[in-house]
Amino acid sequence: MPSPPPTRAPTLLLASFAVTAVALACGGLAEVDERERLHTAERERMVADVRDALDEGRLLDAARVIGVERPWDEVTFGPLAEEVAARSDDPEVLQRLGEVDAVRLDEIRLARSYGPELAATRAAREGVTRAHGRVVIDGVLREYVQPPDEAAMVRAARDHLTRVLLCPPARESFALRPASLGADLEGLVDGAVEAGLPEELAVAEVVEAALGSLDPYTRAIWPASLVGWEEHHAGVSVGVGLALADADDGGVVVELPAVDGPGWRGGAHAGDGVLAVDGVSVAELPPPRAVAVAALLHGEPGTEVALDVFRDGAREQLSLLRAPVQESTVTGYRRTADGWELEAAAGVAVVGISAFRPHTDDELDALGIDAERVVIDLRGNSGGDVQAALDVADRFVSGGELVRLVGRAVPPPEPGPNGELPWNQAVPGHGLEGARVVVLVDGRTASAAEILAAALRDVAGARIVGEPTWGKLVSQSLRSDPIGVGWQVTTAHWTPVSGPVERVVPDELVPVSPAERAALDELRHRREWPTVHPDGTPVRYLGPAARADLPPITRDVQLEAALRIAAELP
């Protein structure tokens, strides 16, 4: 009998703008003209929005627009930022302009958390105990990528806790009184409780501040959020598979039922207004109500839930059966009535990956790609499970090292006890090995998605098109403890096999403006949106939308560049 194919030993980690008038083969001057029209109108419209906001004293609105547009056009929006900053000492305005320090930002957040958002703050920390805090801190100290500076963690927690105890809304809500703060994390919690802060809030504030001093990604997952967090990273949740959103009128609307999920099969439609769940009126739920509705829909597999919706002027009750619903992370080029159309051009398949979950490679396999040239669209992909990204890279590579990770908790890249290849080595024997690959990226492409892009360029000779990536060069591991708490801890720095980088820079740059990026997002989502409901009615589009007061974009210049390069690869 032939020997089985080698396998890979598992890793323990989860975890100012000028239009480039490139006349693409399928675009030409018409495409350049439509982009120029949009960019001109965008600049004029956004400047007008800022001016209107300034004239009316809406400095925060002006700062929001500038914060989006300034990275694209510093020449136009830089002076406007200076004008707004000169007229405001509001920390939130300065934050939007990137001109407020970390202490003031912390004070802004605390004023919200202990003011208008106090109910949500308490709900998020419900059930937190000292034992939870100890487990999280011990776990992070044990596995953090490098030994943490524990004294610095205590200083950061003390400084933050002092701001909490001096925060006017917190003082008013809990009648806080003076208290002495101890010399370690436990002592800080003691002092906060002595001052009158509820213990669950004291523990959470101290632990979160200590972890926040390490990096932006290491954090605690408290009991109230643990199940949802675990389901999110597993890519599987138990419920009815409805994407929900808070409506402008205070209600909750169904954005889209997961295709083939319980809600989809049970008659839920995009655009349905949610009125009640098992007799509980949405109007009685605390904000954010979409989150509260999602919690009510969650439950044990096989149990029924009654969902009252409002559609076409009438109330209707749906009886839905809860079941595991797998997050979809892989798409083809265009959704059809019975699956996916993959070819966007002759002989070139397009695959979109929105996130990396443990099942992403299986989703890719299920597409049944039969093409020698493949475009992988990673625009907007913020990452996810590193092992899943390596498994996807493995599909296109017959052998070799895929990535390098350094950290105290990273297993050495050595063969497994049964002859498995090291965890960061490609395993031969997949059908897409040898395919010509182009990877699409943008400034939102991060973490595991950057690992995939870099690995395919270094090992499979892929070309990268689009915009420089985010530059998140660290990887987190996901941990939980039986007492009911979890944590996300940075355990590794990663580098491509070709050497260290700050971010992944494309081989062909195709920059777009903020308004154009929004338009391209809409084009892509409309291609991927379901068109026909199981009951035969059209599916309403409720995905990302470009501004209606700007000229439309009909072509995806970044995708067209990727298709052109894919067709030209030898």
Q: What is the DSSP string of 79-93?
A: HHHHHHHHH---HHH
Amino acid at 194: E
What is the mean pLDDT of the segment spanning 431-444?
A: 97
Cis peptide before 288 (omega within 30 of 0): yes
Q: What is the CB neighbour count within 10 angstroms for residue 304?
A: 13
Taking only the tens place, the pLDDT of each residue in 407-425 is 998 988 888 888 888 889 9
Query: In this predicted structure, which of 130-139, 347-356, 420-429, 475-484 has the lowest mean pLDDT?
Result: 420-429
Amino acid at 264: W
The distance in angstroms from the start CA to the end CA of the chain is: 37
pLDDT at 17: 35
What is the mean pLDDT of the segment spanning 316-321?
A: 98
Is 90 exceeded by the pLDDT of residue 24? no
As a whole number of angstroms, the distance between CA 92 and CA 58 comes to: 12
Is 70 exceeded by the pLDDT of residue 83? yes
Instruction: Place 20 in a pLDDT band, splitting at 50, 70 and 90.
Output: very low
Cβ-based burial of 275 (10 A; exposed 0-12, middle 13-18, buried ≥19):
middle
Taking only the tens place, the pLDDT of each residue in 487-518 is 999 999 999 999 999 999 999 999 999 999 99
pLDDT at 31: 58
As a whole number of angstroms, the distance between CA 119 and CA 353 comes to: 36
Contact indicator for 255, 241 with CB cutoff of 8 Å: no
Amino acid at 285: L
Burial 85-114 (b: 16+ CB within 10 A, else e): beebeebbbbbbbebbeeeeebbbebbebb
φ, ψ for residue 143 (rounded to 5)? Answer: -120, -5
What is the mean pLDDT of the segment spanning 255-260?
A: 97
Instruction: Place 441 in a pLDDT band, splitting at 50, 70 and 90.
Output: very high
As a whole number of angstroms, the distance between CA 185 and CA 137 comes to: 9
As a whole number of angstroms, the distance between CA 93 and CA 58 comes to: 10
Structure tokens at 212: 């926040």
As a whole number of angstroms, the distance between CA 527 and CA 525 comes to: 5
φ, ψ for residue 418 (rounded to 5)? Answer: -110, 25
pLDDT at 95: 84
Is 50 exceeded by the pLDDT of residue 27? no
Q: Tokens 């800080």 sit at which residue?
A: 188
As a whole number of angstroms, the distance between CA 542 and CA 267 comes to: 17
Is 90 exceeded by the pLDDT of residue 152? yes
What is the mean pLDDT of the segment spanning 422-440?
A: 94
pLDDT at 60: 95
pLDDT at 92: 82
What is the mean pLDDT of the segment spanning 94-100?
A: 83
Is 60 exceeded by the pLDDT of residue 481? yes
As a whole number of angstroms, the distance between CA 7 and CA 22 comes to: 44
Is 80 exceeded by the pLDDT of residue 531? yes
pLDDT at 89: 81
Query: In this predicted structure, which of 99-108, 300-309, 368-377, 536-545 has the lowest mean pLDDT?
Result: 99-108
| Selection from 396, 389, 508 nearest residue 441 by Cα | 508
Q: Where are the domains of the chain?
A: 236-326, 330-512+553-568
As a whole number of angstroms, the distance between CA 514 and CA 229 comes to: 30
As a whole number of angstroms, the distance between CA 454 and CA 462 comes to: 9
Is 70 exceeded by the pLDDT of residue 198? yes
Q: What rounded mean pLDDT belongs to the chain?
A: 93
Is 60 exceeded by the pLDDT of residue 186? yes
Distance of CA 172 to the CA centre of its chain: 35
- Give percent of the chain with pLDDT exceeding 70: 94
pLDDT at 440: 99
- Give percent of the chain with pLDDT exceeding 90: 87
Q: SS3 of 565, please?
A: helix
Q: SS3 of 319, please?
A: strand
| Selection from 405, 551, 424 nearest residue 491 by Cα | 405
Burial 486-501 (b: 16+ CB within 10 A, else e): bbbbbbbbbebeeeee
What is the mean pLDDT of the segment spanning 215-219?
A: 97
Architecture of the domain defined by 236-326: Roll (2.30)
Strand partners, 330: 353
Contact indicator for 490, 475 with CB cutoff of 8 Å: yes
Taking only the tens place, the pLDDT of each residue in 111-128 is 999 999 999 999 999 999
Q: Which residues contact 441 (CB under 8 A, 6 or more apart)?
A: 378, 379, 449, 450, 453, 464, 465, 466, 467, 468, 469, 504, 506
- Looking at domain 330-512+553-568, its CATH superfamily turns out to be 2-enoyl-CoA Hydratase; Chain A, domain 1 (3.90.226.10)
pLDDT at 338: 87
